[in-house]
């Protein structure tokens, strides 16, 4: 009944790495469609229409740029639509490719929205802590400093508010300068406090509140199996496609179909677990 947000960071990381690699490295049109639909579905589920539109807005400029620029510089493809002023061809294939690229970027950005919402800072710290404990601690410290600085920044703005002598730009620079001084001077205490509590004397253990449950292991196995099957199909050419010289999806057989299904199953894991959890919860509370 756990929602995806509460999964163990390793499970989450494995999932996101799998879908991101598949989305960003393989331009298969159907796989792309599956990925973007699943990503948008989950984005909409956790962030509502607002998140969907906002993320879309973010990608619009980049997408338009890709769609305009690619046909201007790439002249491959056999379907010529028009002649460009510099004498090169404007081809349908280059536009389709650009559209696919824009779609891919949007899909990636939707996935990143999901990452930002579910893979919270203590999960990042946990993952870093596995590889490099020092950096993990530093991330946590930086987050603490940021919240301290934020409240002091408000105070600085108030303290410097009535300075009419200088321009806004100079005033802003003075504010940062003052913040630099204040924060670095105070941080001496932080360093002393760390030393006083024995930092750096011994090899640190990393305390974490995350526990790998059997539930997580099952999901990890599912993800790994799906990954394995998908990349097996890709590397054996069962999921091949081409944009140039002409747009074609060469894989239509049952093997390819099974690949699509496996990929779809992989991509909807977050949405599926959350919805399943919701339904189960409602069912349970309604019986009470």
Partner 1 sequence: MALYDIQALNFTYPSQKESALKNIDFSLDEGEFVTICGLSGSGKSTLLRNLKTALAPHGKKEGIIFYKNDHLSDVSELIQAKEIGFVMQSPDNQTITDKVWQELAFGLENMGVKRDEIKRKIAEMTACFDMYDWIDKRLCELSGGQKQILNLACVMLLQPEVLILDEPVSGLDTIAAQEFMQMLTKINHEFGTAVILCDHSLEYAFSVSDRIIVMERGEIISDNTPSKTSEFLWQTKNPLFNALPIGAKIHYLAGGKPEGVPYDISSGRISLKKLISGKELKPVIHKEYEYNKDDIAVSVRNIYYRYSRNTGDIFRGLSFYAYYGSVTAILGANGTGKTTLLKNILGIIKPYIGKISLNKNSEKNPTLAYFPQDPRALFIADTLEKDLREITNDDEAIENALELFGLMKLKDHHPYDLSGGEQHKAALAKLLLKKPDILLLDEPVNGADVRTKRDIGLILRQLCERGICIILISHDMDFCAEYADRCTQIFDGEIFDTVSPHIFFSENMFFTTSARRLARNIIDEAVTENDIKKSLGIKKIYDDNSGTKDRLKNIYDERTAKSTKKNSSAVLSIITGTMFILSALAFLGLGGIALTGNTDTVPGYIAGITAIISLVSGMILGRKEKRIEISKIKRNGKGIIISLIVMFAAVPVTIFIGIKFLNDSRYLFISLLIMLECMVSFTFIFEKQKIPTREIVLICVMCALCVMSRAAFFMFPQFKPVTAMIIITGAALGAETGFIVGAGTMLMSNMIFGQGPWTPWQMFTMGLIGFISGVFFGIDRIPKTKYTFCLFGFFAALVIYGGIMDPAALIMSHIELTLDSAAAYYIAGFPLDLIHAVSTSVFLFLASSGFIKKLERIKKKYGLTHERQLSFNN
Q: Which of 17, 53, 83, 144 binds partner 1 (CB under 8 A)?
A: 144
Q: Which of 92, 127, 179, 220 binds partner 1 (CB under 8 A)?
A: 179
Closer residue to partner 1 (CB): 50 or 209: 209
Q: Is 209 in the site for partner 1 (CB under 8 A)?
A: yes
Q: Near partner 1 by CB under 8 A, which window of 40-48, 180-188, 224-232, 252-260?
A: 180-188
Q: Which pair of tokens denotes residue 166?
A: 């200088």
Alpha-helix residue ranges (DSSP H) falling in the chain:
9-25, 29-73, 92-118, 121-131, 133-159, 168-196, 214-235, 254-267, 269-287
Q: Is 265 in the site for partner 1 (CB under 8 A)?
A: no
Q: Near partner 1 by CB under 8 A, which window of 33-41, 77-85, 205-213, 229-237?
A: 205-213
Q: Is 201 in the site for partner 1 (CB under 8 A)?
A: yes
User: Strand, helix or coil at 207?
Assistant: coil
Pairwise CA distance, residues 219 & 101, whole Å: 30
User: Within positions 99 to 128, which residues make up the interface with partner 1, using CB under 8 A?
Assistant: 101-102, 104-105, 108-109, 112-113, 115-116, 121-122, 124-125
For residue 18, the minimal CB distance to partner 1 (Å) is: 15
Pairwise CA distance, residues 37 & 60, whole Å: 17
Q: Is 204 in the site for partner 1 (CB under 8 A)?
A: yes
Site size toward partner 1, by CB under 8 A: 99
User: Within positions 23 to 62, which residues make up the interface with partner 1, using CB under 8 A?
Assistant: 24-25, 27, 62
Query: For residue 16, which of 122, 135, 119, 128 has the smallest C-alpha distance?
Result: 119
Pairwise CA distance, residues 149 & 111, whole Å: 30
User: Strand, helix or coil at 167?
Assistant: coil
Q: Is 283 in the site for partner 1 (CB under 8 A)?
A: no
Q: Which of 57, 82, 205, 252 binds partner 1 (CB under 8 A)?
A: 205
Are the C-beta atoms of 272 and 2 separated by less than 8 Å? no
């Amino acid at each position: 009944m756990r929602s995806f947000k509460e999964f163990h960071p390793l499970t989450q990381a494995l999932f996101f790495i799998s879908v991101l690699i598949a989305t960003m490295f393989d331009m298969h049109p159907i796989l792309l469609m599956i990925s973007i639909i699943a990503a948008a579905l989950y984005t909409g589920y956790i962030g509502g229409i607002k998140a969907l539109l906002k993320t879309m807005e973010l990608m619009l400029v980049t997408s338009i740029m890709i769609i305009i620029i690619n046909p201007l510089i790439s002249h491959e493809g056999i379907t010529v639509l028009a002649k460009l002023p510099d004498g090169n061809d404007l081809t349908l294939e280059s536009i389709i490719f650009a559209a696919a690229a824009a779609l891919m970027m949007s899909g990636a950005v939707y996935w990143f929205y999901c990452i930002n919402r579910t893979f919270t800072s203590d999960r990042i710290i946990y993952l870093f802590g596995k590889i490099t404990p020092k950096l993990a601690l530093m991330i946590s410290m930086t987050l603490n400093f940021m919240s301290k600085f934020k409240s002091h920044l408000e105070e600085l703005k108030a303290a410097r508010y009535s300075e009419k002598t200088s321009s806004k730009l100079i005033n802003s620079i003075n504010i940062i300068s003052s913040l630099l001084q204040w924060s670095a001077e105070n941080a001496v205490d932080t360093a002393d406090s760390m030393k006083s509590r024995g930092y750096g004397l011994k090899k640190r253990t990393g305390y974490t509140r995350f526990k790998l449950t059997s539930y997580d292991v099952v999901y990890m196995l599912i993800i790994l199996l799906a990954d394995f099957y998908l990349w097996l199909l890709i590397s054996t050419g069962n999921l091949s496609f081409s944009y140039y010289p002409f747009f074609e999806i060469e894989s239509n057989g049952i093997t390819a179909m099974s690949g699509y299904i496996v990929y779809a199953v992989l991509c909807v894991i977050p949405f599926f677990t959350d919805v399943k959890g919701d339904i189960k919860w409602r069912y349970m509370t309604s019986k009470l």
